[in-house]
Structure 1
């Protein structure tokens, strides 16, 4: 533990704020928030015997503390959450799950609504249902609903521009309001049935459909009766996928933690309209039951982001002590929310179910100790948590792109992948990697524990030299992966480290080698994809400038207001006229030119 003389709690403010604990290299180890920074930080400067094991290990590495003052504790909580997601500190509790689960979105602000699958809940007047943790089940349900409730599938733009029905109409899965005069009350009836099904009024819907089916059959309208029969069957098949856990209906989530093999597990159960629609588990190694309250509070703020569908009730094992958590979630939900322990027998059973699932949250050890084995193989002091793999791509020496993919705890973190457009390097990979190193240092933390370079000793040395010239050698570990030569006995890939002439003796097919190859392949695919996208964008921009009425000035206006050519093509004449500096007359010319480009494509 660092000497207490390095830290004087009375030097910190009594205001609310966030504190960042850093190690000797300036890397952020922990981010915390406090109502009073002075009182919170004073709790760390006690005898090591009085600290929890995790806190004791943290303080043994802390050499500096930065603070950021906020006006309120709620602002501190939001800032803390943002910094944790950005820097991913080693000692913070972090949900390693950036995935947005599937939702059903039923548009409402149109004469002919449609049901789509979305990943974000927006405040756009649409009705959202979910979340569904299984994309396969969600999409199958969507297809099932579409077969018997023939709502339109096309976008608003296609709806207004189509001149003949699509395939869905010909197979009986769309009424084709794009070209047919579909009565709005008839269409609204279909929308109401879909909303009843997804909104928990399924039994009412089944009774209504069965009554109509009997009426149609009595009137000898057998074709209509058959359609209603199929709708009843579709509804029942949809309901069979979900177990009823709240007989009275209602929406809630249940969150519980439990000791799991080697750590702490957390499970979230999702209940909508009284039915279990899914669950999600998380696992933190080296945490124990004493970390449960902190883990639950952190998980709630991180998981229920602004784009999640948040229920009005979340069951917890204990009351949340930090009232700002409830305030933040209520603000994100746009309505009140209750975070509380269970009160009824059914609620207690749900929380117990979540607890049992949390106890099984530890990942299957198909490759036991991979991170530790990788650290040993690469001569690293500690197992790598964050790994970045970099690759370079160019087109005959031009339009060079360098990019890296990020893996966290052995799993891809695609939202953190980055690609850089580099200066002309003439096809020189060494210069390109030097430029990438400079750009990566400018991008700043979170720093990787390991950077894997696609290349041999030369590429590895180019990155090491660039780090040394920037005064950052040793900021993170380096290794490279290259195809072996064709001499006898040299098959597959080889791994190199700085300052070592010969490759590491990694066995082909070993878990460590397979993982490094997976990293290399992911980086290669990512950079090639970005290279192709940039090439397509360049070709489209060139084609855009070739259109009549669109010169460099007009093209600049378009690029300043639209993110892509696709957005320009989708824009209406009114959208174009709204572009500052374009004007109504010019918008008409530009719209006609863009439509000619679209027709030609």
Structure 2
């Protein structure tokens, strides 16, 4: 489903149900948006209801796409004021649980993660693998990556804690027959079905098992060691041998849980990786210093959320749900390690403390082992988001649907099997470069990537115009060469290649820039799209569609249209356009950094006699930046292979003699690969993390 300009005229206007000026109180509270039928579609909380609600009734096109869809779907908004932010958190969680609003971020249980569950609500509790939503009265441990990991752990522990693991039908049949199953005969079940142990004795076995899984291992290990020693002193070697084997089984089970903190930390380590539409969340459950489980979600972002905002939604929903179900290792920990503190961190900590019954601390780890583990969880989140995107990209059905949706939205005659996307990267008009990436049949064709060095352009619009003019001028030239290469009386083989203008008749290989795309995508909004359309029209290219994807609101712009197309958030077509745009952005930034780095090195070190390109690169690789090289001593520079004392002195003399100008200083900054640099016309920053693996070796276009 798409929204065109004609359709937008019939979208409900949020101003029709906007509260009167001054009617919204400037107090903490919780608000609800309702659709025309009265159903609650969104619930939120605010420290100031007036400021928060007024933000929804600003210009519609300034809102996040999902928020924009919500306010145009709603027909009414109401609110309830509360005394404190903690009360607002409680009411927000209760309303989200009650109404299940369609536009709220929902952290639903991931069905792919199994738990080790203990059914304490039964007369004879059972140990089992359980998936899905948690139940009251059941204690959970995990989650585990695979169900076989749970069964392997159980197999080790059942000899020490012979609790029931059978289903209700098996238990009842054994009770009727008066004969236990195989596990009862081999000592891996205490056989409560035939009353070998009483109800209370079996429950105590289960409770000991829960204590061990919860991390209370020292007391149990000491008790078994004491009993083994007593049995040995009493010459009861058979019992001592069994206790020895029990201890070995417990130690093997403990070894399967990685020790990350030696101080018995009880914490959940949370990290996020997100893009404008989705966020991947990863949580490591650390109990008694050991990683007891891991969970992950990929959720849709309903509005422009910072990491702190994601932390708020995560804590209020996940821990609120688990406090009701009584989950064990997945419950509320003493400490919560997060990447960024939310605005309502104090109220959130007080609310979680009330749910737990003791103090809960929320903080950002700054150094040491906890910081290292936080970075590990963040890498897991990034990989989870990448895998989620790859699953969608690798699905042939999804790619076909994406191409069909793009064709339908842009009114194309057929699906665009070849898409070219162009992006520009610059810093205040210097080192202007552009990239061209190619997707064929929904997949990246990295051998077809090209990069452009731009001269004479000072902004994105002029740079886009120059790039497209160069690219499609070469395309027109290739067509002309192909027409002139057709002989008067070609043979059969010559006709086959001559009728294909993208193929060289002599070599049979594709000509450079000879294959035209069905769709050209530019990274930008209306100005960039109109500029691209003018270039193609001026060159006489009329059979190639043009569109643009604006990054801030993910709008699809077409030439000479005053309103953009808004594709649904779940659209495979929008997802493919985002991947194409992001790849062009990455490729352009990579080339821009390479060019800027070479310029900085050349401008400062070219005057050093005898210092070639290899040794210049070795210097920068060793010190990380020119700033650190300037601060180094002669002895430190001599440590670089190939650099002698005289050369080191010449390097320092050259660097001291050349002071950076005001325009050059921010570009250098000396911060190495993690330096942020504002990119004019892009509204963002350049980060080293964006240099993902890709076609760095793609040829440069002339």
- TM-score with structure 1 length normalisation? 0.51
Aligned counterparts of 2:135 and 2:99: Cα–Cα separation in 1: 27
Aligned counterparts of 1:106 and 1:96: Cα–Cα separation in 2: 22
Aligned pair 1:280/2:291, yes or no?
no
SS at the partner of 2:53? helix
Aligned ranges for residues 69-468 of structure 1 at < 5 Å?
69=80, 71-72=82-83, 73-74=85-86, 76-81=88-93, 84=96, 91-97=103-109, 99=111, 102-105=115-118, 107=120, 115=127, 129-132=141-144, 134-153=146-165, 164-167=178-181, 168-177=183-192, 179=194, 182=197, 194-195=209-210, 197-203=212-218, 205-210=220-225, 212-213=227-228, 215-217=230-232, 219-259=234-274, 263-284=278-299, 291-304=306-319, 305=321, 306-307=324-325, 308=327, 309-322=331-344, 323-342=346-365, 345-362=368-385, 363-368=388-393, 373-374=400-401
Residues 260-300 of structure 1: per-residue CA shift (max 9 Å, x gap): 69753322111122111222223346789952221111111
Retained in 2: the 8 A contact 1:102–1:133? no
Aligned ranges for residues 10-49 of structure 1 at < 5 Å?
10-14=22-26, 16-21=28-33, 30-46=42-58
Residues 406-439 of structure 1: per-residue CA shift (max 9 Å, x gap): xxxxxxxxxxxxxxxxxxxxxxxxxxxxxxxxxx
Aligned counterparts of 2:68 and 2:248: Cα–Cα separation in 1: 59
Residues 386-416 of structure 1: per-residue CA shift (max 9 Å, x gap): xxxxxxxxxxxxxxxxxxxxxxxxxxxxxxx
2:77 to 62, 66, 87: 66
SS at the partner of 1:320? coil
Change (3 A) 1:136 1:336: farther
SS at the partner of 1:31? strand
SS at the partner of 1:11? coil
Aligned counterparts of 2:206 and 2:108: Cα–Cα separation in 1: 37
Change (3 A) 1:349 1:300: same
SS at the partner of 1:95? coil
Aligned counterparts of 2:59 and 2:406: Cα–Cα separation in 1: 34
Change (3 A) 1:224 1:371: same
SS at the partner of 1:61? helix
Q: Structure 1 regions of 5+ residues with no counterpart?
A: 383-510, 513-601
Retained in 1: the 8 A contact 2:14–2:75? no
Aligned ranges for residues 452-491 of structure 1 at < 5 Å?
none
Change (3 A) 1:159 1:285: closer
- TM-score with structure 2 length normalisation? 0.45
The number of equivalent residue pairs is 381
Aligned counterparts of 1:18 and 1:302: Cα–Cα separation in 2: 15
Retained in 2: the 8 A contact 1:9–1:42? no
Q: Which structure carries more relative contact order (alpha carbon 8 Å, separation 6+)?
A: 2
SS at the partner of 2:306? helix
1:346 deviates by: 2.6
Residues 12-64 of structure 1: per-residue CA shift (max 9 Å, x gap): 34565443446789887643223443232123344679x56457745883663
For 1:469, the equivalent position in structure 2 comes to none
1:77 deviates by: 3.6
SS at the partner of 1:244? coil
Retained in 2: the 8 A contact 1:21–1:28? yes
Residues 104-156 of structure 1: per-residue CA shift (max 9 Å, x gap): 4385998x8765566787776x8764454644322432333223432345799
Aligned counterparts of 1:3 and 1:113: Cα–Cα separation in 2: 54
Aligned counterparts of 1:189 and 1:216: Cα–Cα separation in 2: 22
1:253 deviates by: 0.5
SS at the partner of 1:361? helix
Change (3 A) 1:171 1:46: same
Retained in 2: the 8 A contact 1:4–1:45? yes
Residues 434-491 of structure 1: per-residue CA shift (max 9 Å, x gap): xxxxxxxxxxxxxxxxxxxxxxxxxxxxxxxxxxxxxxxxxxxxxxxxxxxxxxxxxx
Aligned counterparts of 1:203 and 1:105: Cα–Cα separation in 2: 22
For 2:630, the equivalent position in structure 1 comes to none
1:93 deviates by: 2.7
SS at the partner of 2:22? helix
Retained in 2: the 8 A contact 1:258–1:289? no
Aligned counterparts of 2:406 and 2:100: Cα–Cα separation in 1: 24
Name the stretch that deviates more: 307-316 or 213-222: 213-222
Aligned counterparts of 1:109 and 1:367: Cα–Cα separation in 2: 42
Q: Aligned-pair RMSD on alpha carbons?
A: 4.7
SS at the partner of 2:294? strand
Aligned counterparts of 1:260 and 1:361: Cα–Cα separation in 2: 13
1:164 deviates by: 1.9
Retained in 2: the 8 A contact 1:115–1:153? yes
Change (3 A) 1:191 1:77: closer
Aligned counterparts of 1:280 and 1:244: Cα–Cα separation in 2: 18
Aligned counterparts of 1:108 and 1:209: Cα–Cα separation in 2: 28
SS at the partner of 1:360? helix
Aligned counterparts of 1:14 and 1:76: Cα–Cα separation in 2: 14
Change (3 A) 1:177 1:367: closer
Name the stretch that deviates more: 171-180 or 78-87: 78-87
Change (3 A) 1:129 1:42: same
Change (3 A) 1:293 1:52: farther
Change (3 A) 1:27 1:9: farther
1:244 deviates by: 0.4
SS at the partner of 1:66? strand
Larger radius of gyration: 2
Name the stretch that deviates more: 170-179 or 249-258: 170-179
